[in-house]
């Protein structure tokens, strides 16, 4: 990989035509929209290009996660040491969402109702106690509670529960509302949003990066790659290794019922999340797979995921058995090595990566803030050393 890239770029707000900008942001999910909005607030001439794919930002469950996810404990035990070290980013990210919601001044159904991760066996109790200790060591406020206290605060649970980790900082919001409000803010800030345009590759000449679209090109001094699972292939066109993957996932929502659930429920060893929306509907998910269907943008629902996910939800919260499922859907979760990738590519000055780690909707706006602060020479509110884009090596 060569190290010479365009160093000057276009000066701030120096756009002269519709194909020259100070910064191109690739990807208009929650991360790319926030990066574009924050850059425009700095006075930069920004264009955000999005292909309108079926991305996580439009399909996610809106849980604001803080405690360490059980799917991480189950599926990636080898990544735990690095994940633990950076887990304090999650309460900061939820705090940032709360401040953002206040600044937006429009309803996005944000509620911090706390979260429970349930154990149903002795082994799960031990796992949760270890997890809780690791969280406390690493700056996340959580507490283990026994079965009788758990059933007194969550009487809707199956009586066989043995205990839980409670984390008061967890919450939820409505991503469809949040996306719409942030998209309006982005447009009002002066940033341009080009939807349904696909970035094919990035080239460069002595003066600027050339972002090549299906029908044209945009030149800019800075490029931010915030394209979720699409980030890896785009980075590869610059010779940069960024191992993003697309993970198709399944979600369900029931008819409305009387309010009974304030917070977020998860299980220590099973793929399940349950929460209740303002409307009274219950959202059931937890990472059950859908199937990518060739070139079709929407993943296919798997019957086994539908029945398995709902069966598990009913076993944990028996009253769900009386509710009809109204709708299920699938979307693409972008994954990487669990940790966010944030910062400038040192070998390609002017190229920045903004890919949030696990639970990326929780992290998206805060990651955008951290990146934009670092781009303007301000000390980010959270250390970025563990999130370097260079950690994967330099071969695509």
Ligand X SMILES: Cc1cc2nc3c(=O)[nH]c(=O)nc-3n(C[C@H](O)[C@H](O)[C@H](O)COP(=O)(O)OP(=O)(O)OC[C@H]3O[C@@H](n4cnc5c(N)ncnc54)[C@H](O)[C@@H]3O)c2cc1C
Span of 97-105, 114-122, 314-322, 352-360 interacting with ligand X by CB under 6 A: 352-360
Whole-angstrom Cα distance, residue 167 to residue 145?
A: 11
Whole-angstrom Cα distance, residue 79 to residue 72?
A: 8
Beta-bridge partners for 267 = 118
The nearer residue to ligand X, 151 or 181, going by C-beta atoms, is: 181
Q: Which of 359, 371, 372, 384 binds ligand X (CB under 6 A)?
A: 359
Q: Which of 60, 120, 266, 309 binds ligand X (CB under 6 A)?
A: 60
227 binds ligand X (CB under 6 A): yes
- Residue of 331, 344, 341, 377 lying closest to 89 (CA atoms): 341
The interface mask with ligand X, positions 249-278, x = CB under 6 A, is x-x---------------------------
The nearer residue to ligand X, 29 or 271, going by C-beta atoms, is: 29
Q: Which of 5, 9, 28, 163 binds ligand X (CB under 6 A)?
A: 28
Whole-angstrom Cα distance, residue 132 to residue 12?
A: 46
342 binds ligand X (CB under 6 A): no
Beta-carbon contacts of residue 357 (< 8 Å; ≥ 6 apart): 86, 89, 336, 338, 339, 340, 341, 363, 387
Whole-angstrom Cα distance, residue 117 to residue 74?
A: 13
Q: Which of 221, 271, 364, 365 binds ligand X (CB under 6 A)?
A: 364
- Cβ count within 10 A of residue 103: 8
Residue 385 C-beta: closest distance to ligand X, Å: 21
- Cβ count within 10 A of residue 214: 10
Q: How many residues bind ligand X (CB under 6 A)?
A: 42
333 binds ligand X (CB under 6 A): yes
Residue with the two structure tokens 């977020």: 264
Residue 20 C-beta: closest distance to ligand X, Å: 19
Whether the CB-CB separation of 39 and 372 falls below 8 Å is answered with yes
Whether the CB-CB separation of 165 and 116 falls below 8 Å is answered with yes
Residue 248 C-beta: closest distance to ligand X, Å: 7
The nearer residue to ligand X, 61 or 310, going by C-beta atoms, is: 61
Whether the CB-CB separation of 64 and 94 falls below 8 Å is answered with yes
Residue 339 C-beta: closest distance to ligand X, Å: 13
Residue 93 C-beta: closest distance to ligand X, Å: 9
Which spans of this chain sit near ligand X (rule: CB under 6 A)?
Answer: 26-32, 49-51, 53, 55-57, 59-63, 65, 198-199, 226-230, 234, 249, 251, 285, 331-334, 355-356, 359-362, 364
């Amino acid at each position: 990989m060569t190290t010479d890239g365009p160093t000057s770029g276009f000066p701030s707000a120096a756009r002269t035509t519709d194909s020259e900008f100070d910064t191109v942001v690739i990807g208009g999910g929650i991360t790319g929209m926030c990066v574009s909005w924050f850059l425009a607030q700095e006075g930069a001439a920004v264009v955000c290009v999005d292909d309108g794919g079926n991305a996580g930002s439009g399909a996610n469950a809106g849980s604001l996660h803080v405690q360490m996810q059980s799917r991480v404990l189950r599926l990636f035990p080898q990544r735990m040491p690095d994940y633990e070290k950076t887990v304090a980013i999650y309460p900061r990210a939820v705090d940032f969402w709360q401040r953002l919601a206040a600044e937006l001044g429009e309803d996005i159904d944000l509620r911090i109702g706390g979260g429970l991760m349930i154990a149903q066996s002795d082994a799960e109790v031990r796992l949760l106690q270890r997890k809780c200790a690791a969280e406390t060591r690493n700056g996340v406020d959580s507490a283990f509670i026994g079965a009788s206290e758990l059933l007194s605060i969550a009487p809707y649970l199956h009586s066989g529960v043995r205990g839980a980790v409670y984390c008061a900082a967890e919450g939820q919001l409505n991503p469809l509302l949040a996306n719409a409000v942030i998209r309006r803010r982005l447009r009002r800030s002066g940033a341009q949003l080009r939807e349904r345009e696909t970035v094919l590759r990035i080239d460069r000449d002595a003066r600027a990066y050339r972002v090549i679209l299906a029908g044209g090109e945009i030149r800019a001094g800075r490029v931010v790659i915030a394209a979720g699972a699409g980030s890896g292939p785009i980075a590869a066109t610059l010779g940069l290794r960024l191992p993003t993957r697309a993970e198709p996932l399944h979600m369900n929502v029931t008819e409305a019922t009387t309010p009974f659930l304030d917070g977020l429920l998860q299980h220590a060893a099973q793929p399940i999340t349950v929460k209740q929306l303002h409307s009274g509907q219950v959202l059931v998910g937890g990472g059950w797979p859908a199937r990518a269907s060739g070139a079709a943008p929407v993943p296919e629902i798997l019957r086994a995921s539908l029945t398995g996910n709902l069966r598990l939800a009913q076993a944990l919260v028996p009253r769900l058995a009386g509710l009809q499922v109204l709708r299920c859907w699938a979307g693409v979760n972008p994954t990487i090595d669990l940790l966010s990738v944030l910062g400038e590519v040192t070998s390609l000055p002017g190229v920045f990566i903004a890919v949030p780690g696990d639970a990326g909707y929780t992290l998206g706006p805060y990651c955008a803030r951290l990146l934009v602060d670092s781009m303007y020479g301000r000390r980010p509110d959270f250390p970025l050393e563990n999130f370097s884009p260079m950690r994967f090596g330099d071969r695509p």
